Amino acid sequence: MLMSDSATAQQQATAPPRGFACNINGIPSEKRAHYRQLVEALLQAITERRELSDGYSFRVDNEHLTTDQLVEWVNLERQCCPFFGFEILWEPENGPVWLQLTGSQGVKDFIRDEFGFR
């Protein structure tokens, strides 16, 4: 049965926020151990976090995680958590590197749980 545009819009407006769940199977099995190493390195490399309206921004210490490794982590993370938006910012004059994780409503709670902070 086809719904009118206004009925479809009303249904979408009242629908609950989309749930978040990582699918580790999105990462090829031969890359999962390396992925876990990158996750641990990233968690150790975060020196500051800033709350955004739709996620978080993390300052990343490149002595614990190189920018090449950060990009590699993003590429793997995209395969298991496609609901994240990613942005890596390199500040001018060799300033800090920032990783931004964003998404739809509810993603901040998911990030807090996954990264283990409150």
d(Cα 48, Cα 46) in Å, to the nearest integer?
6
Q: 1-44: per-residue pLDDT in tens?
A: 333 344 434 434 433 345 778 899 999 999 999 999 999 999 99
The reply to whether 14 falls in a domain is: no
The answer, as to whether pTM is greater than 0.75, is yes
Q: Which CATH number goes with the domain that contains 109?
A: 3.30.1370
Range of the domain at 111: 26-115
The reply to whether 80 falls in a domain is: yes
Q: 37-79: per-residue pLDDT in tens?
A: 999 999 999 999 999 999 999 999 988 999 999 999 999 999 9
Q: 88-99: per-residue pLDDT in tens?
A: 999 999 899 999
For the residues of 63-113, what is the DSSP string, one character each? TTS-HHHHHHHHHHHHHH-TT-EEEEEE-TTT--EEEEEE-STTHHHHHHH
The reply to whether 42 falls in a domain is: yes
d(Cα 49, Cα 30) in Å, to the nearest integer?
31
The reply to whether 85 falls in a domain is: yes
